[in-house]
Structure 1
């Protein structure tokens, strides 16, 4: 999850993200844990403000499409509109993995198709699930980090 614009009614991007995490429990998710916070430059590089990112680990009994719909509903409650790809946003919640399920459809691809290339996913993922392996490639987080594209600016922020 992440964002780089302050949602209406909040003092900071991080405050909005914390509120979104709190909403997960009422949206079909339980046993919620959060990685450290990270500040990251936009990908691709642009003049946008830096993002605040974290990875959330949670359990759910929701079907994959229902889990994604629940996440999109939370985004919408924070004023997220999907217009231009990679545009600045108040909240972005991606479904990265769901119990190792491999799925490709127009609505949902699991695992997330670009997660292995993104420092802002892999570093916080290592915080909450250090033994996680990509269900398609079988690579662990360290191997994906070694293979990921260079030049991604990221710093721990807590």
Structure 2
């Protein structure tokens, strides 16, 4: 509610020889091929491909990633990070990310929180998980 139109979300576990930055650039190229153009932050879009994490990788460093994770909600929309931040700073707050991620990587351990995806998802408010509609 309040986040725009309904959307379909999913997760995939992939292996790649690309760096995290190059993999994200590739994802952005796919978005562009599908008709997405970035005009402003958090606008409605036809496609949104995010890089959520990469093993135990923390980018650009632990301090910066932790700072973006702890950013007050009122400041989150002001501007995007100037560089790739991994793990994704909001992943632990979003049922629409964690529920599908738990299907493909339930035992992936968040390198800053020390919790698995399954453990993080279990902390979500039940109403947020219940608001999701699985597709068959």
Tell me which interval the TM-score lies in, with the shorter structure as reference length.
0.7 to 0.9
TM-score scaled by length of structure 1: 0.66
Residue 27 of structure 2 aligns with which residue?
Answer: 71
Q: Secondary structure at the match of 1:59?
A: coil
Kept after mapping to 2: 8 A contact 1:117/1:149: no
**What is the CA deviation profile of residues 54-92 of structure 1, one whole-angstrom value per residue up to 9, with x for unaligned ones?**
001110000111111001000011111112322211100
Aligned residues: 114
Query: Against the structure 1 CA distance between its residues 151 and 83, is the aligned structure 2 distance closer, same or farther, given a 3 Å change threshold?
Result: farther
Point out where structure 1 has 5 or more consecutive residues left out of the alignment: 1-44
Matched ranges for 1:50-129 at <5 A:
50-104=6-60, 106-129=82-105
Structure 2: stretches of 5+ with no match in the other structure:
61-80
Q: Give me the CA root mean square deviation.
A: 1.8
Which has the larger helix fraction? 2
Report Cα offsets for 1:79-120 as digits up to 9, x if no partner: 111123222111000001112200137220011110111111
Structure 2-normalised TM-score? 0.75
Determine which structure has greater relative contact order: mean sequence separation of CA pairs < 8 Å that are 6+ residues apart, divided by chain length: 1
Query: Relative to total residues, which structure has the larger strand share, 1 or 2?
Result: 1
C-alpha separation between the residues in 2 aligned to 1:142 and 1:126? 6
Give the 3-state SS of the residue equivalent to 1:138 in structure 2: coil
Distance 2:3 2:101 in 1: 26
Kept after mapping to 2: 8 A contact 1:48/1:88:
yes
User: What is the deviation of 1:144?
Assistant: 1.2
